[in-house]
Amino acid sequence: MQKPKVFFKTFGCRTNLFDTQVMIHSLKDFSQTPYEEDSDIIVVNSCTVTNGADSGVRSYINRLQNEGKKIFFTGCGVKTQGQDLLQKGLIVGAFGHSYKESINEILKRTQNFYLEGDLESLDRNIISDFIGKSRAFIKIQEGCDFACSYCIIPSVRGKARSFEKNKIINQITKLTQNGFSEFILTGTNMGSWGKDSNENLTSLLESICAIPEVKRLRLGSLEPSQITQDFLDFLDHPKIERHLHIALQHTSPFMLKLMNRQNTFEKDLELFNTLAKKGFALGSDFIVGHPQESQEVWEEAFSNFALFPLTHLHSFIYSPRSGTFSASLKERVSGDISKIRKKQIEAKVTENNFAFRQKLSKANKPISVLIEEVKSNENSYLASGFDEYYNKIQITSKTPLTKDSWITFQRFMPQMDKNYAEI
């Protein structure tokens, strides 16, 4: 008898991508399909970091109605909208993070259910493959102890807790045996890894880079207040990707204090300049339109922002989350003004990124690319991937190129959208 087919729709961050892989590998009596239209069951792994994330999830679930598929709901949105979706008959069941390894039994349930789960659990199983991916995500911790005034995530992910180092190393080793050579570390608050076991992130990086088959290690989002001198010193290791994502959230001292952030503008700028001198491409998160971001505050913030050597950016328009301090604040910023401010900082970083890639091209430094996609026609092959600075490159070749293989070259042509090369 053919197993029922399950399609996983994942919203949000890399931590959610890892959680989806945990669920895929926990299936026994079902088969995973990459095609929504081919599925009998759809599992929606949700994000709730903003109102936009919530509405995106709802729109997707609404679209699925009348298609005759069983819809299960999990992820960070279970606590915020799981019961409402269930009561409206849009899903057959909702289950929290702590139940994802039990998904095989959960999908067999014949009656509607709501399982919120607990916020203290850690995954037990080790994943041996990453379905449909060239790079593997490795979740090293769960939860966050920060109390940023705008953020709902600690209430849906729980307090910071770390996976044991041996489990992480075993996870990576197992994946290298199945052909993976680039890894991306992720977590709710990655810099807190080891705080519950008297260890630190640097010691974990040392152990991972000691695995011979690991060719490149990329780090997920870090908090500037958690970056130590030991960490900075270790960044010179050749296996560390030359790109870091460090969450600023804002560059106004007033706004950082109002947001209850643990970083400050002066120390942030010093840190980013230090990393830029080491040759790193640098990304960040930034929230525009937070309550009380007046025109005067914004002008100072943008002036400060322009000083940062940023090459990549995730920018967000503030979205009030029920139960947070920021949601109670007055002096809201209009959506139109927020959009203008968002475009300002994005334009600045786009300009910085192009200049960074032009400088790199002129230096004729070798760059390494993991090929993630290959297309062919009669006369050539068209491949794409990311270099160690997390810039996308498109490669045209007259000889065959293989997906998941590595290629190193010096000459490429930067354009505004991406880099281009011919070999």
Interval 69-123: pLDDT, tens: 999 999 999 988 999 999 999 999 999 999 999 999 999 998 999 998 888 888 8
Do the domain assignments include residue 331? no
Bridge pairing between strands 413-414 and 419-422? antiparallel
pLDDT above 70 covers a percentage of the chain that reads: 100
Do the domain assignments include residue 24? yes
pLDDT above 90 covers a percentage of the chain that reads: 80
Do the domain assignments include residue 138? no
CATH of the domain at 11: 3.40.50.12160
- Look at residue 376 and tell me whether its pLDDT is greater than 90: no
Six-digit token pair at 221?
């989002």
Task: Tell which phi-psi region holds residue 289, choosing left (phi > 0), alpha (psi between -120 and 50) or beta.
Answer: left
- Look at residue 290 and tell me whether its pLDDT is greater than 90: yes
pLDDT at position 219: 96
Which structural domain, as residue segments, surrounds residue 417? 364-422
pLDDT at position 48: 87
pLDDT at position 120: 83
Number of domains in the chain: 2
Do the domain assignments include residue 75? yes
Q: How far apart are CA 275 and CA 359, in angstroms?
A: 16
Do the domain assignments include residue 200? no
pLDDT at position 124: 84
Those residues with Cβ within 8 angstroms of residue 351's Cβ, 6 or more apart along the chain or in another chain? none
* H or E element, residue 31: strand 31-32
Please write the tens of the pLDDT for every residue from 204-248.
999 999 999 999 999 999 999 999 999 999 999 999 999 999 999
Between 349 and 323, whose confidence is greater? 349
pLDDT at position 334: 96
Q: How far apart are CA 18 and CA 57, in angstroms?
A: 18
In angstroms, the Cα distances linking 108 to 66, 170, 372 are 21, 31, 35
pLDDT at position 67: 87
State which of 115, 142, 159 marks the end of a domain: 115
| Stated pTM of the model | 0.89
Please write the tens of the pLDDT for every residue from 247-271.
999 999 999 999 999 999 999 999 9
Six-digit token pair at 237?
């290791």
pLDDT at position 14: 84
Q: How far apart are CA 333 and CA 37, in angstroms?
A: 41
Do the domain assignments include residue 371? yes
End-to-end, the C-alpha distance of the chain in Å comes to: 49
CA 397 to chain CA centroid, Å, is 31
Radius of gyration of the chain (CA): 22
Please write the tens of the pLDDT for every residue from 13-66.
888 999 999 999 999 999 999 999 999 999 999 998 888 888 899 999 999 998
**Secondary structure of residue 91 in the 3-state scheme:** coil
pLDDT at position 135: 87
Q: What ranges make up the beta strands (E) of 78-170?
A: 93-95, 113-115, 136-142, 161-162
Do the domain assignments include residue 394? yes
State which of 115, 133, 160 marks the end of a domain: 115
- Look at residue 68 and tell me whether its pLDDT is greater than 90: no
Mean pLDDT of the 352-363 span? 96
State which of 115, 147, 170 marks the end of a domain: 115
pLDDT at position 122: 85
Q: Within 177-284, where are the H helices? A: 201-209, 229-234, 253-258, 265-277
Six-digit token pair at 156?
């849906």
Do the domain assignments include residue 244? no
